[in-house]
Structure 1
């Protein structure tokens, strides 16, 4: 669905503008957002759901500096294409796995695994490797890049278009 600037009222705009960064990390983040915006938690949640349904937002959640939260690693495994979904399910059950996705490559399943520290990460990967009966390609991060995807929305200019 294609949205126009007039489809967004002031609360929508403030929600988008205020929380492209700095999502509250607390037990009740939507309540904290609501207090800052002068509305209710239920309203914030309803607005976020609506904006996601309109494909204005793709994700609502914090981005953490993962190097401060423990160990992580990009990994890949080559599996028979006809069994890819079954292998993906096994990988998804492993502790610390996220971002599991298929790729058109010899290594056709890629995922990120996290753990509290390096030894635990190695143990998790070794266990998963044994469970899958496949060698896991381990791709440690050599250099970190931060891509800031937040941007100022020129609401007034958009309304004139």
Structure 2
């Protein structure tokens, strides 16, 4: 996919500073001088072509409730089935396979610690598999924005 100037501006301007307001795409459209619908269409096209993997905010989870990284030791032949079950659990926002005895990892969120514990207990009971609960000890901010040298790209 060839990116035009507007696509590049979308990526450069908003990978760190997505407007926090009721209509962020409308605000972006004003700043870029294009229609709100075009902003949405361009972002969707960038996602569809896998130039962008995600469009949306990143929250400070400790201010928004409770969360925890968990890992499950899943027999290899059951990995897809268990991953699908984990994905259906309330508060799971992603999971991924790892090369380890605990080979399925996921993050679960909840409005508070008690709800989080209840959800994890219920999921562990349903799976009937050993689960590690790995609470965050210390948080680190990782800037996932990239300074892109568009001239250096083909």
Q: Give the SS at the match of 1:131.
A: helix
Query: Alpha carbon RMSD of aligned pairs, Å?
Result: 2.0
Q: Give the SS at the match of 1:114.
A: strand
Name the counterpart of 2:64. Answer: 69
Alpha-carbon distance in structure 1 between the residues aligned to 2:25 and 2:138:
34
Poorly superposed stretches of 4+, deviation over 6 Å: none
How far does the alpha carbon of each residue in 1:19-41 deviate from its partner, in whole angstroms, 9 at most, with x for none?
01122344433223212222112
Alpha-carbon distance in structure 1 between the residues aligned to 2:5 and 2:95:
37
Alpha-carbon distance in structure 2 between the residues aligned to 1:38 and 1:65:
31
TM-score by length of 2: 0.88
1:117 aligns with 2:112: yes
Query: What are structure 2's unaligned runs of at least 5 residues?
Result: none
Name the counterpart of 1:94. Answer: 89
Q: Give the SS at the match of 1:46.
A: helix
Alpha-carbon distance in structure 1 between the residues aligned to 2:77 and 2:97:
12
Query: What are structure 1's unaligned runs of at least 5 residues?
Result: none
Contact 2:72 2:102 in 1 (8 A): yes
